[in-house]
Chains A and B, each alone.
Chain A
Amino acid sequence: MIAYISRRLGVLFVILFGSSFILYNLAAISGDPLGELRLSREINAKQQILALTRDLQLNVPPPLRYFLWLRGVFGVFIGNPDFGLTRTSKPVIDEILVALPITIRLVFAATIIAIIVGISIGIITALRQYSRFDYAMTFISFLLFSLPIFWVAVLLKEYLAIQFNTFLGEPTISPQWLIGLSVASGVFWSAIISGTRKRVFMIFGGAFLANFALLSFMSVTGWFANPSLGPIVLGILSVGVAFGVTHLSTGISNKAALKSSLTMAAFTVVAYYPVQWLFERDAKTLIYPLIIIVSVAFAVFVSLRFSKIDRGPIIRTSVLSIFIMGFLVVIDKLMQTWKPYMESDAVYFRPIPTIGQVNALLEPGNFWMTLLDALVHMFLPTLALLLISFAGYVRFSRGTLLEVLNQDYIRTARAKGLTERTVIMRHAFRNTMIPIATIMVVDFASIIGGAIITERIFGWLGMGTLFYAAINSFDLNLLMGVFLLTGFLAVSANLIADLLYSALDPRIRAGAGGK
């Protein structure tokens, strides 16, 4: 195994060396970094040319200059890396360290949500193969596959920022929208929960009425202007979460698991006011990890109290429940921050920005305000990225699950009388996750450098913008810095994916084919 990994690592470095050499020379012949200055009529143009030539060693021919650059990079091994200077004489590494967290923030959220939503929908479509929902999702995912991201982005800016902002400034839902949204919700739920025609109509009607009532209530009471969940709604949602998580994780018939996650729901409601007080105090961020640790410890303690045997799944169930409930509490707090955020001078009732990554006018200091600001700025670009990447996960997880469901071990599991839930969640779902997990690794790595268009449209100064700027200004060192990072991530992600595959799936052995 170690021999295999080291061999792969060796190859990895050879590949990186080769491709960086090619890229360096390609980029070097693609344009003259001094071109603009040569044409410039500024008095000190000549000096600038000289200075730049000295700083970037432009008098050395590119193939040789590459090795000068490489010598600096090899400084990594002696703890003194030198990625060179940009055209504006800043160290490349500094520029990248500024841009990297911004890109990660952008793509991380989008990828995580795409994975969760995509896999869930993929699994539902596979379980309901050839249903109306399946056909609709197939069409939608093909449509999303075919969308150019910049086109989506412009539409999002128009409809979800400019017009949605106008709505949020004066949040009352017009009757047309009310009916439209309710019909959409009815169609959605009746498509997911299939059955006889009568049942489908019942579900459609129920969802339509529930949605209609809820939205009109929210609209009339001005909930959208001053949203919050409050302890009662939080309690109801938490009980729902408790049932849902228990159903998926151990099955409702497992009384101990159900009891301990319901206790978690009760705990969430009881702890609501104390936690609000802690939030109000706006304590240092140290308090938040503490809250998490205490709740998880409490969850483990309660599950141990309730269960005598088979404790692992029960602990898992209640910890998962408390995490989701805690997330609800955070959402509630963010909702409460909404009104002051809207009314602040920096925002002034236009909450969803079309450009930029933070609101510079917002007064710093308030943790929740800053968090909300970051989230609103992430909204549009994340949605654009999400729409594009989620279709892939839907198709992939659907295909994989269908393949798994045709396997002999699934028939065996059914034959020995396991419940459908156990068959799907324990036997089919876990095996579906193996190829998906390997895809995820590669996806994360490739997306770091791949959000160029999204970043450009929404004015985020991340890796994509850096890369774009590097090409446009013939900034070789910057270009190579970005490439080295993305290339390294891409190649090593492939290696990790292979290793992960062999670790997760005992039928596959990495390196066995190498002989």
Chain B
Amino acid sequence: MLKRKRDKEVSITSGEQAIMNKETEGLSQSQIVRSRFVRHKGAMTSVFVLSFLVLAVFSALETKIGPIRIPGWWKFRYDELLDLRTEGCPSGVVGCPTLDVVPSFIDGTGVGLGRHPFGQDDIGHDYFAMTMRGAQRSLYVASVIGLLGGTIGIIVGAISGYFRGWVDSVLMRFTDFIITIPTIIIGSVVGFHFGNLGVGFLAFYLGLFAWTGLSRLVRGEFLKLRELEFVDAARVAGASDRRIIFKHILPNAVGVIIVSITLLMSGAILLETALSFLGFGVVAPDVSLGSLISQYQDSFTIRPWLFWWPGLLIITIALCINFIGDGLRDAFDPRQRRRLTKKDKERTKSQARIAAKND
């Protein structure tokens, strides 16, 4: 009984291998990665959701690039003072949301956004505009940290793993040194002093300290790859160190790098919100998702919408980035084995049958 089960397993594994080989025949690395990524349902859904969110969030409010003003599609600005809505709200509550998703045949009113879909804050700001503004800030911080932290991490890790020796020791001890200073301390010390210089500065500063994990990973990858034959071949052909690092080794380490940058970015979103929550991040009059939650955490019982919307946005953004990272990891991992669908299994079986007949 047991033996039979094993036999079946072995045949499935070899069949799987056959499918994998067939699939990757004559394709370049990037084509393989792309096709694997597209197959990851969670990651693809996340790509669509995230792109939609980014577009919606950034086009909602008026954007100023120097003298040019691009009007947003939403009618209010985030810092615009409006009349507080009281009609239609439960007694004692002001600024309740007008978003209505229950169709008219149930409660008599139609589906619609209304004037303030997410409600209003204490003094009349439109909460939808504030949430959009907060999401803009959070996304902005995440991308700056991802870009800056990613660049520094790759450069430090690559140099340290490629040259080894004393360069490696110095750089890795420097990394240890940065790791010892917890990011939250940096954020709070810096935020406390420079918080009012704006969100760009905060993101820049956090990015300067966020590269440590990535640089260790890249270093490990470089230590492994530099021993391989293709590097020797490049060196014999007379390639310079810079060329070997950037043209030969780096493209081979790109999987690890991209995955950990996505994780870095989702971590950055949470870090920014945590700092703003503690009051060290984005400060009034500017808003971020974290500062909105922090401001209204006590109003949860009476005005829960002030708490739910920014939170749901944070979670959606972070979740999407995490899923995209997972999809990329699977796509770049050469050992990754895809779950076989029923059709695949049947195909292998029939192939095996044909092969058995031919024997």
Contact = CB atoms under 8 A, between A and B. Distances in A.
A19 interface: yes
B322 interface: yes
Interface string A493-509: 01000000000000000
B301 interface: yes
Contact of B185 (A151, A414, A483): A483
A145 B322 contact: yes
Contact of B181 (A22, A143, A147, A472): A22
15 contacts: A15-B180, A26-B190, A30-B190, A145-B322, A148-B273, A148-B277, A148-B290, A149-B274, A151-B311, A154-B300, A453-B274, A456-B278, A471-B189, A491-B176, A491-B180
Given A31-B192, A145-B322, A468-B278, A15 B177 contact: yes
A158 interface: yes
When A and B form their complex, which 6 residue pairs have the shortest distance between CB atoms, in order from nearest?
Answer: A146-B318, A30-B193, A146-B319, A130-B339, A151-B311, A19-B180
Interface string A249-290: 000000000000000000000000000000000000000000
Contacts of B176: 11, 15, 491, 494
A450 B300 contact: no
Interface string A52-80: 00000000000000000000000000000
A101 B6 CA distance: 53
Given A29-B193, A158-B301, A143 B314 contact: no
Contacts of B326: 138, 142
Nearest to A26: B189
B331 to A, nearest CB: 16
A337 B347 CA distance: 63
A11 B274 CA distance: 32
Nearest to A151: B311
Given A142-B319, A146-B266, A148-B311, 18 more contacts: A15-B176, A26-B186, A145-B318, A146-B270, A146-B317, A146-B319, A147-B315, A147-B318, A148-B270, A148-B274, A148-B277, A148-B293, A150-B294, A151-B307, A162-B301, A450-B182, A468-B188, A471-B185
Contact of B314 (A31, A130, A151): A151
B184 interface: yes
Nearest to B340: A130
A137 interface: no
B182 A449 contact: yes
A158 B293 contact: no
A490 interface: yes
Nearest to A395: B326
A369 interface: no
A459 interface: no
A19 B177 contact: yes
A343 B314 CA distance: 41
- By size class, the interface of chain A is 35 or more
Contacts of B185: 23, 467, 471, 483
A158 B300 contact: yes
Contact of B173 (A15, A147, A162, A449): A15
A193 to B, nearest CB: 18
Contacts of B270: 146, 148
Contacts of B178: 19
Contacts of B190: 26, 30
Nearest to B289: A148
Contacts of A452: 184, 278
A188 to B, nearest CB: 21
Contacts of B182: 446, 449-450, 486, 490
A143 B176 CA distance: 30
Interface in A436-470: 446, 449-450, 452-453, 456, 467-468
Interface in A274-320: none
A200 B91 CA distance: 50
Interface in B292-321: 293-294, 297, 300-301, 307, 311, 314-315, 317-319
Counting chain B CB atoms within 10 Å of each CB, the highest count among A22, A23, A31, A148 belongs to A148
B322 to A, nearest CB: 5
A27 B190 CA distance: 8
A487 interface: yes
A491 B175 CA distance: 12
B137 to A, nearest CB: 15
B180 A142 contact: no
A486 B42 CA distance: 38
A187 interface: no
A16 interface: yes
Contacts of A44: none
Nearest to B6: A414
Contacts of B274: 148-150, 453
Contacts of B180: 15-16, 19, 487, 490-491
Nearest to A18: B177
A6 interface: no
Counting chain B CB atoms within 10 Å of each CB, the highest count among A27, A151, A446 belongs to A151
Interface string A321-333: 0000000000000
Contact of B297 (A31, A130, A150): A150
A18 B179 CA distance: 12
Nearest to B273: A148
B338 to A, nearest CB: 9
Nearest to B3: A417
Contact of B307 (A146, A154, A483): A154
Contacts of A414: 6
B181 A150 contact: no
B221 to A, nearest CB: 15
B4 interface: no
Contacts of A490: 179-180, 182
Nearest to A30: B193
A217 to B, nearest CB: 34
B84 to A, nearest CB: 24
A406 interface: yes
Nearest to A467: B185
Contacts of B314: 146, 148, 151
B303 to A, nearest CB: 13
A41 to B, nearest CB: 25
Contacts of B76: none
A11 B174 CA distance: 11
A18 B173 CA distance: 11
A475 B176 CA distance: 26
Nearest to B181: A19
B65 to A, nearest CB: 30
Nearest to B179: A490
Counting chain B CB atoms within 10 Å of each CB, the highest count among A15, A29, A139, A472 belongs to A15
Interface in A1-51: 11, 14-16, 18-19, 22-23, 26-27, 29-31
Nearest to B9: A414
Contacts of A472: 192
A23 B181 contact: yes
Counting chain B CB atoms within 10 Å of each CB, the highest count among A27, A146, A154, A162 belongs to A146
B335 interface: yes
A83 B61 CA distance: 51
